[in-house]
Amino acid sequence: MFWTLELASHLEDAPWPAMKDDLIDFAIRSGSPLEVIENLQELEDDGEVYEGIEDIWPDYPTNEDFLFNEDEY
């Protein structure tokens, strides 16, 4: 399983929290690249509910990871 920012961005609008099958269904319906679907299929299917993309890809960058100061603008 290999995630990139581009691939993970296809799941930003997913119906969180979601189970593995829900995420795969969302990826298929939204026209996500095949790599996204393959990555989701590689997740362990233990009935776990994923609260967000961070549960799938812990290194997913958040707004805090960028050095952009919104107060300046």
CA dihedral angle for residue 24, residue 26, residue 27, residue 29, rounded to 10 degrees: 120
Three-state SS at 66: coil
pLDDT for residue 16 is more than 90: yes
How would you label 49-71 residue by residue, b for 16+ Cβ within 10 Å and e otherwise?
ebeebeebbeebeeeeeeeeeee
The residue with greater pLDDT, 5 or 40, is 40
Global confidence as pTM:
0.80
Q: What is the pLDDT of residues 24-68, one digit of tens each?
A: 999 999 999 999 999 999 998 888 899 999 999 888 876 555 555
Three-state SS at 3: coil
71 HSE (CA, 13 A, CB side): 1
Under the banding of pLDDT at 50, 70 and 90, the label for residue 1 is confident
Domain boundaries, the chain: 14-60
